[in-house]
Amino acid sequence: MNRYQTTILATMLIPAFLLPVHAKASEEDKARRLCKSKIEDVYGVDRFRNIWAERIGNHKYKIHGKVKYNDHKYDFKCKVKKGNIKSYAYDGPHKRHKDGDDDSNIGAAVAVGAGLAILAAAAMSQADDDDNNDKSSSTLPVSKSVLEDDCHDMLQYRVRDEHDYTARVDLKNARVEGHDLVGDAKVWYDRQHPHHASYTCHFDRQGRLIDSRYHLY
């Protein structure tokens, strides 16, 4: 192979090596933009600082950052999976509160209903998650942490959709029983004291979430 042919081959190969890096960077940028837009839309804040992405799986990111409000900085975060917001939280003061939601976009979003939640659950797949945690306690072909992750995302989506858009859900004492992930949870609404809940998430034999239920008490 002469020098000319070698140069041509190198020119063809370089973009192929650079493409995955560029694609990853673009995906991270998109995840950051999605999170920023969600926090801005929901809470009415717009002074963002120090936004960064943490890759936690295949096409899956945690976004972290701060919002400056009245000369103080408050944390916010999102979980983005395959270009979709799965969960989000902001811990600071904001311009939108529950009492004024009747005419807001959030008030309209709450009207979507539980049916959409079930459809979203059926569409979610964790087959691409890059997770090497222990699978020994599960009869399903995915790790317990992946089951918890998908179950948490869906429960938080439903609680926000059906009760209060400020809700944050923390799963406790999760255990696998056949194709079900069951346990307890704590649910926070804005700055109120936490509520307790029990939950069940049902998965098919491939480990895809197909149904969920919860009880607040």
Domain ranges of the chain: 1-95, 97-217
pLDDT in tens, 115-144: 333 333 333 434 344 344 444 456 788 888
Query: What are the helix and strand counts (H, E) for the chain?
Result: 4, 8
Token couple for 199: 């939950």
pLDDT at position 201, please?
94
Residue 109 has pLDDT above 80, yes or no: no
Adjacent-strand bridge partners of 131: none
* Percent over 90 (pLDDT), the chain: 31
- Reported pTM: 0.46
* Per-residue confidence band for 30, with pLDDT thresholds at 50, 70 and 90: very high
Return the H-helix or E-strand segment holding 213: strand 209-216
pLDDT in tens, 48-91: 999 999 887 667 888 999 999 999 999 998 988 888 887 788 88
Residue 104 has pLDDT above 80, yes or no: no
| 97-217 has the same fold as 1-95 | yes
CATH class for the domain made up of 1-95? alpha beta
CATH class for the domain made up of 97-217? alpha beta
pLDDT in tens, 167-198: 889 899 999 999 999 999 999 887 778 899 99
Average pLDDT, the chain: 75
Return the H-helix or E-strand segment holding 166: none
Q: How far is CA 170 from the centre of its chain?
A: 13
Give CA separation, 30 vs 14, 125, 179, in Å.
24, 20, 34
Query: What DSSP letter does each residue of 42-60 carry, written as one string?
Result: HH----EEEEEEEEEETTE
Mean pLDDT within 32-54: 92
Query: What DSSP letter does each residue of 75-137 carry, written as one string?
Result: EEEEEEETTEEEEEEE-S--S--GGG-TTSHHHHHHTT-HHHHHHHHHH---TT-------TT
**Residues constituting the chain:** 217
80, 63 Cβ separation under 8 angstroms? yes
pLDDT at position 63, please?
93
Mean pLDDT within 157-163: 88
